[in-house]
Structure 1
């Protein structure tokens, strides 16, 4: 048994293993779910954890490396001999440590995240680290409470109860002793203990329950199920408590209300496509009366005015300096930037997004916007992104 961790903490870093090869799902770590890639979701969760000083992605794949950098990760190039199916996760983690120590000589704790558990949040990571520190253990892991009756075969091949006695009257499920199973999402370790032992369970262990769907992505069916879950407000891709103070919602037009495409006839008349579902969501948001709504667009096409008129939403168009326009608009309403949710999709929205209390973008936004958005909506612009935003806000305000 190793000695318990020290109460004097140095740096904490996160490592995410994301190799390019995958037999169950081709290009699994780059698959999209709820608006973001699996690797992007994991990196964002780690970046959102206040205790994590840096996030590293160990990969042998250039495309994964580029996607991980986009969301704030540092890249460790993983050699081929520990990138195949037979290589252990521990081998990848141990390989990453020297590079992390070169950046953080006082490296004290490591967080290992799995891309196959897509609903991890920064708060989950904080809770796991806190539980490890509270109990003075060498490691901690995320678990899900399990009320199952477990069985195994005995030496003769007959079934025997593991956590219950099958020779007695059946217990009520709620009367079983509490048991937990690994969620597969988060493992935290004391760095020195892990290096010494070479296993994720490197001494005393703390359990940190998480309230996640009990799914790990290994098959296309798992991915499809998680994609459905990711569209619900409970797993909206943002800490919904950050939306409680929002009092104003301002949206760009092209690429947010529309799919960012335009058709032009022989007379130069332009037409765009919008979503009836988005329109319904915005109508409900407007009628709720809890938020000030506005469309703010650089576009000079009268279609912006016509769409805003149909939605009965205030509109400012032909605006080049969105920050200046918002300063005036917010001031007139006695609001500050922290009360603003801004939804944009392209580089001319970046300055406003940087100032807003919460920034959001459709799932098909420009890469520079995906990198800075606090909330990647689960659908593309003009195809449900705004409806998902509205549903989540309305659920919070209910």
Structure 2
């Protein structure tokens, strides 16, 4: 339990609801997890941080942050507009915390728009301030880039090098680019200076691939690709599983006979996986837009409930979750195409088959190794049961 008599280290994540270039940006998902939740998790995983706080004016952001384990500070409207500074939000959060009797010694200011916050680098920055090696520490990536600016006449002017003397990389001094992911500083010094940089300032080096900051849709797509490449696939600890049918239980092809009937190919592995899940008492639902007897026939064979002919998968999924009394955050949805996205966006574990549409893979928290109809349902189930 935190000792409220001693100075504490608090991570503060400003996350307002408004955003012009990417609407509702702080709730966009990277690696299947909302940006604000990713920041909360990074802070909570860093040693030396006692409390994680999200400052927001938005009910949905507040709910996501609280579910992730953060304390929520409600930000007033006058500090939530496009011209409001992060410093003003931090000062307000500090006032609220200290009014409640919490004495804050060190602040770790994290930006949710930086989806890859290295917890070890954050912990090291906290330790630098705690050990009195610095008053302010910020995340930065090393760069050997040649920087230029344009003068008033439009001519290019070298900034960090001599244009006529091109040194080799190994002969040059590296520079550091501020990433915006985190800033750690003493609360008292911040109150006095009203700024994140003051006193003795140090760098916290972070890997270059983590340095992306999301300000537009292109950067969001890049971040999702980076998450798929760099992040280790986690266990999938859910209490219920929902799957699409075509392209998940099947390979998304069909054989049409002379009478117009359809035949599809399914995996026997998937059948065994569903049986194992059923024995473990984990609910499974097949949710499909198709109105086809083959969907019902396969569900009956697997002995699982099915909702088919469903155009609004999101609403149907919400109703089913309420019926079985399982929070959406504890449900996995396995999909393959864009009509699955509304349902995937409301669950805690949006999962994609290996050959899913690119937009589905971008928004998935996990992309499985197998393709639809080739045992991918079994792969998901084994991951669920092993967790």
- TM-score past 0.5 threshold: yes
**Residue 275 of structure 1 corresponds to which residue in structure 2?**
248
**Residue 260 of structure 2 corresponds to which residue in structure 1?**
none
- After superposition, residues 1-398 of structure 1 pair within 5 angstroms as 10-103=7-100, 105-133=102-130, 136-153=133-150, 158-168=155-165, 170-211=166-207, 212-232=209-229, 234-236=230-232, 254-255=241-242, 258-259=243-244, 272=245, 275=248, 309=269, 316-319=276-279, 370=348, 379=352, 388=367
Consecutive aligned runs of 4 or more in structure 1 exceeding 6 Å deviation: 249-253, 311-314, 346-350, 363-367, 380-387
Q: For 1:386 and 1:155, how far apart are their aligned partners in 2?
A: 48
Q: For 2:193 and 2:365, how far apart are their aligned partners in 1?
A: 49
Q: 1:90 to 1:250 in 2, by over 3 A?
A: closer
Q: CA deviation at 1:274?
A: 6.5
Q: For 1:192 and 1:386, how far apart are their aligned partners in 2?
A: 39
**Deviation per residue, 1:183-208 (Å, 9 max, x gap):** 11001111111111110002111101
Q: CA deviation at 1:93?
A: 0.6
Q: TM-score, normalised by structure 2?
A: 0.65
Q: Which runs of 5+ in 2 are unaligned?
A: 1-5, 252-265, 283-320, 335-342, 371-387
Q: For 1:321 and 1:312, how far apart are their aligned partners in 2?
A: 15
Q: For 1:50 and 1:276, how far apart are their aligned partners in 2?
A: 43
Question: What is the total number of aligned residue pairs between the two structures?
Answer: 300
Residues 57, 74 of structure 1: 8 Å contact kept: yes
Q: CA deviation at 1:72?
A: 1.2
Q: 1:228 to 1:311 in 2, by over 3 A?
A: farther
Q: CA deviation at 1:173?
A: 2.7
Q: For 2:20 and 2:345, how far apart are their aligned partners in 1?
A: 30
Q: For 1:150 and 1:277, how far apart are their aligned partners in 2?
A: 53
**Residue 5 of structure 1 corresponds to which residue in structure 2?**
none
Q: 1:179 to 1:276 in 2, by over 3 A?
A: farther
Q: Which runs of 5+ in 1 are unaligned?
A: 1-8, 244-248, 260-271, 279-305, 323-345, 351-358, 371-375, 392-398
| Two-structure CA RMSD over aligned residues (Å) | 4.1
**Deviation per residue, 1:238-261 (Å, 9 max, x gap):** 6xxxx8xxxxx9997832xx34xx
Q: TM-score, normalised by structure 1?
A: 0.63
Q: CA deviation at 1:160?
A: 3.2
Residues 240, 331 of structure 2: 8 Å contact kept: no
Q: 1:43 to 1:274 in 2, by over 3 A?
A: same
Q: 1:128 to 1:360 in 2, by over 3 A?
A: farther
Q: 1:159 to 1:316 in 2, by over 3 A?
A: closer
**Deviation per residue, 1:44-101 (Å, 9 max, x gap):** 2112223221111111111211121121111111112111111111111111102222
Residues 139, 204 of structure 2: 8 Å contact kept: yes
